[in-house]
Amino acid sequence: MPDRVTLHDPYDKAATPAVTHDTLSVGDWQGPTYYRRPQLKAAPFGNWVVGGYIFCAGLAGASALISTIAGFGRSPQEAGLTRRGRYLALLGPLSAALLIYDLHTPKRFYNMLRIAKRTSPMSIGTWILMSFSSFACLSAAAQFLSDHVPGLRWMRRAARVTDVPAAVAGAGLSTYTASLLSATSTPLWAAAPRSLAVRFGASSVAAGAASLSMGEPSGATRSKLDAVTVAALAAELAATLASHESYRRKGVAEALDGGWGQVEKLGVTALGTVLPLGLQIASSVVARRKPGILSDVASVAVLAGSLLLRVSILAAGDSSAERPGISFRFSQPDNLP
Partner 1 sequence: MDMHPRIHDEPRSEFDRVIPNESELTAGVRIEPGKSYGFFTDTTVCIGCKACEVACKEWNNLPADNLGLTGQSYDNTGSLSANTWRHVAFVEKAGPDGVRGNTQPSFQSGWLMMSDVCKHCHNAPCLEACPTGALFKTEFGTVVVQQDICNGCGYCVPACPFGVVDINTLDGKAHKCTLCYDRLKGGLEPACAKSCPTDSIQFGELNDLHARADRRVEQLHGLGVDSAYLYGVPGGPGATGGLGHLNAFFLLTERPEVYNLPVAPTNPSSRIVPSLLSGLAAVAGLALLAVGLLANRE
Comparing C-alpha atoms, which of 232, 209, 228 is closest to residue 61?
A: 209
In the list 117, 153, 249, 288, the residue contacting partner 1 (rule: CB under 8 A) is: 117
CB of 16 to partner 1, least distance (A): 7
Size of site (CB under 8 A) for partner 1:
108
State which of positions 215-234 bind partner 1 (CB under 8 A).
221, 224-225, 227-228, 231-232
CB of 213 to partner 1, least distance (A): 12
Residue 104 binding partner 1, by CB under 8 A:
yes
In the list 27, 80, 193, 278, the residue contacting partner 1 (rule: CB under 8 A) is: 193
CB of 135 to partner 1, least distance (A): 16
State which of positions 241-270 bind partner 1 (CB under 8 A).
none
Residue 196 binding partner 1, by CB under 8 A:
yes
Query: What's the one-letter identity of residue 114?
Result: R
State which of positions 156-175 bind partner 1 (CB under 8 A).
171-172, 174-175
Residue 285 binding partner 1, by CB under 8 A:
no
In the list 49, 97, 122, 237, the residue contacting partner 1 (rule: CB under 8 A) is: 122
User: Judged by CB, which is closer to partner 1: 105, or 151?
Assistant: 105
User: Judged by CB, which is closer to partner 1: 294, or 326?
Assistant: 326
Q: What's 158's DSSP letter?
A: H
Backbone angles phi, psi at 16, to 5 degrees: -85, 115
In the list 48, 87, 101, 109, the residue contacting partner 1 (rule: CB under 8 A) is: 109
Is residue 38 a contact partner of residue 187, using CB atoms and an 8 Å limit? Answer: no
State which of positions 317-336 bind partner 1 (CB under 8 A).
317, 321, 324, 327-328, 331-333, 335-336
User: Judged by CB, which is closer to partner 1: 9, or 151?
Assistant: 9
Residue 131 binding partner 1, by CB under 8 A:
no
DSSP per position, 66-124: HHHHHHHT--GGGHHHHHHHHHHTTHHHHHHHHHHHHSSSGGGGGGGGS---TT-HHHH
Comparing C-alpha atoms, which of 335, 326, 258, 250 is closest to residue 24?
A: 326
CB of 11 to partner 1, least distance (A): 10
Tell me the window of 2-10, 86-94, 145-153, 249-257 that interacts with partner 1 (CB under 8 A): 2-10
Comparing C-alpha atoms, which of 81, 186, 79, 61 is closest to residue 128?
A: 61
Residue 202 binding partner 1, by CB under 8 A:
yes
b/e per residue, 265-302, with b = 16+ CB within 10 A?
eebbbebbbbbbbebbeebbeebeeebeebbeebbebb
DSSP per position, 242-280: HHHHHHHHTT-GGGGSSHHHHIIIIIIIIIIIIHHHHHH
The span from the CA of 200 to the CA of 168, in Å, is 16
State which of positions 30-89 bind partner 1 (CB under 8 A).
31-35, 37-45, 62, 65-66, 69-70, 72-75, 78, 81
Comparing C-alpha atoms, which of 91, 46, 38, 336 is closest to residue 208?
A: 91
Length of the chain: 337
State which of positions 288-307 bind partner 1 (CB under 8 A).
none
